[in-house]
Amino acid sequence: MAVLGAVGVGSPANLLASLTTNAQLKEKLPSRSEFIVRGAYVMSMDSILGDIAGGDIHVRDGEIINVGKGLITRNVEEIDGQDMIALPGLIDTHWHMWNTLLRSMSGDKKEHGYFPTSENLGKAFTSEDMYRGVFLAAIEALFSGVTTVHDWNHNIRAPAYADAALQALTEAGIRARFSYGYYQGQPYDEITRLDDLARVQREWFTNSSDRLITLGFASRGTECSPEINRREWEAVREMEIPISVHANSSPQWTGEIEYLYKERMLGRDIQVIHAISSTPAEIEMLAETGTSVSLSPYTEMRAGFGFPKTGNLLDAGVLVCLSVDTAALSGNADMFGVMKAIQNVENALAENEFKLPPRRVLELATIDGARALGIAERVGSLKPGKRADLILVSTKHINIGVFTDPAHLLVEAAQPMNVDTVIVDGRILKRRGQLTALDVNQVIHEANESLATVRRRADWW
% of the chain surpassing 70 pLDDT: 93
Alpha-carbon distances of 44 from 62, 112, 403, 421, rounded to whole Å: 17, 44, 18, 16
pLDDT at 18 > cutoff 80? no
* pLDDT, mean over the chain: 92
* φ, ψ dihedrals at 345, nearest 5°: -65, -45
Confidence bin at 52 (pLDDT 50/70/90):
very high
pLDDT at position 32 is: 93
pLDDT at position 112 is: 84
Confidence bin at 208 (pLDDT 50/70/90):
low
Find the helix or strand (DSSP H, E) in which 64 lies.
strand 63-68
More confident residue, 250 or 269: 269
pLDDT at 7 > cutoff 80? no
Q: At what angle do helices 440-458 and 127-143 cross, to 10 degrees?
A: 140
Confidence bin at 27 (pLDDT 50/70/90):
low
d(CA 437, CA 425): 15
- Determine contact, residues 130/451, Cβ cutoff 8 Å: no
pLDDT at 323 > cutoff 50? yes
pLDDT at position 118 is: 92
d(CA 26, CA 6): 12
Residue from 256, 306, 321, 243 nearest 285 by CA: 256
**Which amino acid makes up residue 123?**
K
Alpha-carbon distances of 101 from 108, 379, 414, 453, rounded to whole Å: 18, 29, 25, 11
pLDDT at 14 > cutoff 50? no
CATH topology of domain 34-87+391-432: Urease, subunit C; domain 1 (2.30.40)
Q: How far apart are the first and last CA of the chain?
A: 39
pLDDT at position 461 is: 74
pLDDT at position 321 is: 99
Confidence bin at 211 (pLDDT 50/70/90):
confident
pLDDT digits (tens, 9 = 90+) for 363-415: 999 999 999 999 999 999 999 999 999 999 999 999 999 999 999 999 999 99
pLDDT digits (tens, 9 = 90+) for 433-461: 999 988 899 999 999 999 999 999 999 87
pLDDT at 48 > cutoff 70? yes
Mean pLDDT of 67-96: 97
Confidence bin at 303 (pLDDT 50/70/90):
very high
d(CA 364, CA 318): 11
d(CA 404, CA 73): 30
pLDDT at position 210 is: 65
pLDDT at position 207 is: 74
Buried b (16+ CB within 10 A) or exposed e, 224-240: beeebbeebbebbbeee
d(CA 214, CA 59): 23
- Determine contact, residues 78/33, Cβ cutoff 8 Å: no
pLDDT at 226 > cutoff 70? yes
pLDDT at position 111 is: 83
Mean pLDDT of 417-438: 96
pLDDT at 23 > cutoff 70? no
pLDDT at 171 > cutoff 50? yes
pLDDT at 16 > cutoff 70? no
Residue from 266, 306, 309, 260 nearest 288 by CA: 266
Across 100-225, where does the E strand assignment appear? 146-153, 175-180, 213-219
pLDDT digits (tens, 9 = 90+) for 335-374: 999 999 999 999 999 999 999 999 999 999 999 999 999 9
**Beta partners for residue 146, in sequence order:** 90
**Beta partners for residue 427, in sequence order:** 424
More confident residue, 4 or 43: 43
Confidence bin at 110 (pLDDT 50/70/90):
confident
% of the chain surpassing 90 pLDDT: 86
Mean pLDDT of 51-69: 98
* φ, ψ dihedrals at 50, nearest 5°: 60, -145
- Determine contact, residues 448/136, Cβ cutoff 8 Å: no
